[in-house]
């Protein structure tokens, strides 16, 4: 597995990965999440154009997982990270998060942020194992508050959600 920038020809495959990655939500009573459509190819293309989309690929260069991010409150915000179930539990998601953290460090970005379901085992508990901690409401910047507002409008607050932060140590090149 290697990580590379996502490309325009990957976009339908990234949508397929997202759909497949959503299916386990059915098993925890969250069918609406499983049925939620992924980002459109146009939306994904915006992440690609901004240089904020990466794919973890196999030896044939086929995507197994992807991560898209945006800049929020001076940090890099993980907007979506999805691993195809056939590649789950192999460190692929963590590798994508670590890749983003390395890029953030190189840019002098202080942290990664994300929002996620608090009680889904492969969400907040997983991200905690990847170095993220829950942010208290009073520590949310205006950008994260806007993200949470969009999520609430989309109906995601039907289940407990949290904002999480992973500090990014400065790059060794900056020391």
Q: Which residues pair with 163 in a beta bridge?
A: 115
Given phi > 0 = left and psi -120 to 50 = alpha, else beta, which region is 91? left
Residue 155: what pLDDT? Answer: 83
When pLDDT is cut at 50, 70 and 90, the band that residue 173 belongs to is low
**What's the average model confidence in pLDDT over 67-80?**
97
- Report the percent of the chain where pLDDT is more than 70: 97
Q: Which residues pair with 66 in a beta bridge?
A: 55, 82
| Segments forming the whole domain that contains residue 20 | 2-174
Residue 70 has pLDDT above 90, yes or no: yes
Q: Provide the pLDDT for residue 174.
A: 53
For residue 55, what pLDDT is reported? 98
At 154, which CATH number?
Answer: 3.40.630.30
**Strand ranges of the sheet holding 2-5, from the earlier edge strand across to the other edge:** 2-5, 53-57, 63-72, 75-83, 111-117, 161-167, 133-134
Mean pLDDT confidence for 44-56: 97
Check whether 135 has a pLDDT greater than 80: yes
Q: Across residues 48-56, what is the average pLDDT?
A: 98
Which of the pair, 113 or 174, is modelled with greater confidence? 113
Average pLDDT, the chain: 93
- Count how many domains the chain has: 1
Q: Is the pTM value of this prediction over 0.75?
A: yes
């Amino acid at each position: 597995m290697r990580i590379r920038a996502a490309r325009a020809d990957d976009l339908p495959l990234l949508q397929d990965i997202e759909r497949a990655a959503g299916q386990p939500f059915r098993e925890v009573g969250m069918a609406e999440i499983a049925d939620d459509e992924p980002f459109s190819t146009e939306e994904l293309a915006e992440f690609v154009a901004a240089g904020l989309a990466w794919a973890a690929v196999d030896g044939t260069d086929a995507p197994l997982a992807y991560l898209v991010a945006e800049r929020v409150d001076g940090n890099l915000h993980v907007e979506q990270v999805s691993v195809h179930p056939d590649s789950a539990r192999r460190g692929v998601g963590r590798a994508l998060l670590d890749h983003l953290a390395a890029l953030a460090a190189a840019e002098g970005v202080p942290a990664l942020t994300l929002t996620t379901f608090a009680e889904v085992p492969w969400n907040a508990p997983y991200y905690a194992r990847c170095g993220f901690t829950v942010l208290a409401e009073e520590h949310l910047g205006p950008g994260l508050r806007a993200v949470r507002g969009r999520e609430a409008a989309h109906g995601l607050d039907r289940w407990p959600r949290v904002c999480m932060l992973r500090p990014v140590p400065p790059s060794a090149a900056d020391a």
